[in-house]
Amino acid sequence: MRNLALRRIQVMKPYNPPLDGRASNRGLLLDFNERTLPPGAQKTQLYPEYFDLEAKIAKYAGVEAGQTMITNGTDQAIDVIFRTFADKGDVVVIPEPSFAMYAQYARIAGNRIVSPLYPKDSLAFPLTEVLAAIDGQVKVAAVCNPNSPTGTLVPVKDIERIAKKAKNAIIYVDEAYFEFSGCSAVGLIKRYPNVIISRTFSKAFGLAGLRIGYIIADKRYIAEMLKVRGPYDVNQTACDSALAALNDVETMRAYAGEVTEWAKPLVERFFEQSGITFYPSAGNFILFKPTDPAKVLAVLRQNGILLRPQDKPNIRGTLRLTIGTMAQMNTFIKVYESAILKPRSQKYAFLDRDGTLIFEPPDDPQVDSLDKLRILDGVITGLKQLVNLDYKLILISNQDGLGMASFSAKAFELPQKAMLKTFSDAGITFEKIFICPHLASDGCNCRKPKTGLLDEFLRTADIDMENSFICGDRESDKRLAKAVGLAFVSMTANGNFYKAIKPFIRRTS
């Protein structure tokens, strides 16, 4: 295998400070000009040691000891790879749109960048264009897998085709989202030593604030890159946290499993049902394209939800959504539905009370005591059915002379509260209750069949006029339904409520 590291790197000697075992040494450590006493419980006065962590990473990644190198996040991994293998003026291939730091470090190194584009319609990996761009001048080809921000997954066989053609170039594969995609090119390294992989503890492991990642490569190239990375670039706290994370991989896998197996499909179904364009993703994020991205971004921000807008080639006008837990994604969907999408028209059942839901005494129509309260047959069953069919319940009733001496407010409230409690105990609630307290002789505008009680509600509510209805046992209820333009479901006074509404809800459900 020809060494692809820059000649000036090859002739360098690595700085190998004698760190192994120092942290556990109980004697005097007088060799590194460190503070000789720890400032607290942890030995933060000592320079960090990486040996245990890199061995643990190698085991986790399924490679031999000596094939891993930790870095200060993936950013340093990118920097080290480009500085080790690509000199000023060398050509590097970086498909676009992708993670911005590839091009950033390539520009810092003075590389010439060739950028095949992910096609606008599918955002599939531009394999043909990448292969066409590779010639004897190319020193590094970057493959983000899955790609951020598009979520595109590159099959390992396609990476192998690139590695075969670019024998004299490094094929750098960024697997930052490996724990979510489950796809890795690690198996290629034995046959294609020019394949170098980076991963991170920032994503699934949740250590972004500590900045720790790692490189997987042939031992020969690890040795070259160690000359470029500083000997103490990753701090001890980050190393300790990474070790702890690798000792509890199941916790990470449980989180990643919830994201990929439950939460992401939930969001995908929501986008599909809402007619929102999105792109399939193998990561813990989804790129989607709303009709008005600026508005969506602003409205979600107002509701405490931050998304990442994209302005890169072929994805302008898209937003990137990080997928979290089921609870978090349900919150996102709820806010999106209520604050951005036009609320779906709501089905309402406007229901009379006396003679429809509760027994109305024919000789004394006022239900003014608990003794007179009796829920009619089929009411609980019928109301539960309506709730299950996503109906909102509205109670509208004429109560002759309510508040007068002969029919006090207290006399009304006692059976009314008892009735509502019975319904509530059965999981049934009314969104609105409208009561007209007047006598017919008062000439008010709110007594059924006049619409005064409902005018404001009808003006502001988004009512599904086709499937909503009014149910009652009197001519006034029928005339009210006609006045507001809703279907009328007739019921025999003190009859069976469920039998009365059943034909209508069968037709409309």
Confidence of residue 33 (pLDDT cuts 50, 70, 90): very low
Higher pLDDT, 20 or 120: 120
Confidence of residue 21 (pLDDT cuts 50, 70, 90): low
Note the pLDDT tens digit of each residue in 126-137.
999 999 999 999
Residues 6+ apart with CB under 8 A from 342: none
CA distance 194 to 6: 14
pLDDT number for residue 10: 79
Confidence of residue 14 (pLDDT cuts 50, 70, 90): low
Note the pLDDT tens digit of each residue in 240-277.
999 999 999 999 999 999 999 999 999 999 999 999 99
Amino acid (one-letter) located at 118: Y
| CATH 3.40.640.10 domain range(s) in the chain | 50-247
Note the pLDDT tens digit of each residue in 298-354.
989 888 898 999 999 999 999 999 999 999 999 999 989 888 886 568 899 999 999
Most distant CA pair in the chain, distance? 109
Q: Check: CB of residue 61 under 8 Å from CB of residue 196.
A: no
CA distance 1 to 147: 29
- One-character DSSP codes across 127-163: HHHHHHH-STTEEEEEEESS-TTT-PPPPHHHHHHHH
Is pLDDT of 370 > 60? yes
Note the pLDDT tens digit of each residue in 472-509.
999 999 999 999 999 999 999 999 999 999 999 888 77
pLDDT number for residue 302: 87
User: Which of 307, 310, 473, 317 has its CA nearest to residue 396?
Assistant: 473
pLDDT number for residue 128: 97
Is pLDDT of 426 > 70? yes
Confidence of residue 37 (pLDDT cuts 50, 70, 90): very low
pLDDT number for residue 34: 44
| CATH 3.40.50.1000 domain range(s) in the chain | 347-508
The domain over range 50-247 is classified in CATH as 3.40.640.10: yes
Is pLDDT of 375 > 80? yes
User: Which of 136, 183, 146, 145 has its CA nearest to residue 4?
Assistant: 136
User: Which of 203, 238, 498, 246 has its CA nearest to residue 379?
Assistant: 498
398: which strand partners? 436
The DSSP bridge pattern shows strands 347-351 and 391-398 to be parallel
Note the pLDDT tens digit of each residue in 465-475.
999 999 999 99
Pick the CATH number of 253-339 from 3.40.50.2000, 3.90.1150.10, 1.20.210.10, 3.40.50.10540: 3.90.1150.10
CA distance 449 to 425: 31
Residues 6+ apart with CB under 8 A from 319: 287, 288, 289, 290, 293, 296, 297, 307, 308, 309, 310
The domain over range 347-508 is classified in CATH as 3.40.50.1000: yes
Q: Is 249 helix (H, G, I), strand (E, B) or coil?
A: helix
